[in-house]
Amino acid sequence: MRITVDIPDELARHIFWPDADPARVLPEDFAAESYRAGKLTMEQVRQLLGFGTPLQVDAFLQRHQVYDYTVQELEKDLATLDRLAGTLTGENCES
């Protein structure tokens, strides 16, 4: 589907950086916000923006401050960190 959007020049000067490509900025903003809202998957973002790998999508989402990190993932990572810290300090080592 092709969508054309007319933006008055005066507004465009406030929306886009001087060297920005509106033809790229608008789809990127749309993709980032749609992913954040749960309307697009990472694979759909990859396809929409033409990225070759999921890592490129992840980097793109990070640049747009879209972090897909659940409380459960945080708790798991904290438990792993605690376990590793104990191993490094010798708490879990037998003497």
SS3 94: coil
Per-residue pLDDT at 15: 87
Q: What is the pLDDT of residues 54-78, one digit of tens each?
A: 999 999 999 999 987 778 888 998 9
Q: Is 14 exposed, middle or buried (0-12, 13-18, 19+ CB in 10 A)?
A: exposed
Per-residue pLDDT at 86: 82
Query: Where do the structural domains in the chain lie, given as residue ranges?
Result: 9-67
Flag residues of the chain having pLDDT under 70. Answer: 90-95
pTM for the full predicted model = 0.68
Per-residue pLDDT at 41: 94
Per-residue pLDDT at 31: 97
Q: HSE (CB half, 13 Å, CA atoms) of 56?
A: 12
